[in-house]
């Protein structure tokens, strides 16, 4: 798979097989992603890979917090509003998925189910958390986003699947305590990792993208 094909065919997967990924393959994802560019080569990223009993324990903790209606403590502020263009993209996604599934993903009960699915990491065999020192600037958020993209593309190129999960960071304090991440760090992103189950209907729909002419203009 060449680079262009890898970028265009990568997709977020929300149903995985139960097969574990060999440790050497997971290690290779980090080995590849570490070559991502960063501001002044600061390399402001750290990762922890979670599997087996530790992942089960983390899922149980997060789901218990959710079911007890515990207030979230995400290190990154949750969006409270969107500009019109971005709001339109989100609306189109929810509308399309409702047409395909008959489910209103914006309904409170569905948001609860979505959070629970995230906390179960869609039953993927592995999860990866990305974090960084909380004193770093906003540029470093940009850099760790590049790292995350590199990691997801590397996984896709190796026949693996991922899904980036903001919900997985809602209870950042408890996640950090469970995984031994210093509380002085900020939790940026969780990702589920495994082999895709392409027979599952949940993976049948791929989200659309805006036309390039809508996001880029030429000046000569």
CA dihedral 62, 53, 197, 113 (to 10 degrees): -20
C-beta separation of 178 from 61 below 8 A:
yes
pTM: 0.94
What pLDDT, in 10s, does the model give residues 82-110? Answer: 999 999 998 888 888 777 777 777 788 88
- Three-class SS string for 106-129? CCHHHHHHHHHHHHCHHHCCEEEE
Neighbours of 25 (CB within 10 A): 15
What pLDDT, in 10s, does the model give residues 205-217? Answer: 788 899 999 999 9
What average pLDDT score do residues 5-13 get? 95
Domains of the chain by start residue, with CATH: 20-79+119-203 (3.40.109.10)
Give residue 18's pLDDT band: very low, low, confident or very high (50, 70, 90).
very high
**168 pLDDT more than 90:** yes
Length of the chain (residues): 220
What pLDDT, in 10s, does the model give residues 20-50? Answer: 999 999 999 999 999 999 999 999 999 999 9
| Residues in contact with 148: Cβ distance below 8 Å, sequence separation at least 6, in sequence order | 33, 130, 164, 188, 189, 191
Region of residue 28 (phi > 0: left; psi between -120 and 50: alpha; otherwise: beta): alpha
Q: Nearest CA to 200 among 13, 12, 8? A: 13
What average pLDDT score do residues 126-141 get? 97
With pLDDT > 90 as the criterion, what percentage of the chain qualifies?
82
């Amino acid at each position: 798979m060449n680079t262009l094909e890898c970028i265009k065919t990568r997709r977020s997967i929300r149903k995985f097989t139960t097969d574990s990924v060999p440790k050497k393959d997971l290690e290779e994802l980090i080995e590849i992603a570490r070559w991502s560019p960063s501001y002044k080569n600061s390399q402001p990223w750290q990762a922890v890979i979670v599997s087996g009993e530790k992942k089960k324990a983390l899922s149980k903790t997060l789901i218990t917090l959710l079911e007890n209606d515990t207030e979230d403590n995400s290190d990154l502020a949750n969006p409270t509003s969107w500009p019109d263009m971005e709001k339109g993209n989100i609306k189109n996604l929810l509308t399309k998925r409702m047409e395909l599934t008959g489910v209103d993903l914006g309904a409170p009960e569905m948001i609860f189910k979505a959070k629970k699915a995230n906390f179960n990491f869609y039953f993927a065999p592995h999860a990866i958390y990305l974090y960084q020192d909380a004193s770093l600037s906003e540029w470093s958020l940009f850099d760790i986003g590049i790292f995350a993209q590199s990691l997801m593309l590397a996984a896709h190129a190796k026949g693996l699947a991922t899904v980036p999960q903001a919900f997985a960071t809602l209870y950042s304090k408890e996640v950090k305590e469970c995984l031994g991440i210093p509380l002085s760090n900020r939790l940026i992103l969780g990702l589920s990792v495994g082999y895709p189950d392409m027979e599952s209907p949940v993976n049948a729909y791929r989200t659309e993208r805006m036309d390039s002419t809508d996001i880029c203009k030429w000046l000569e």
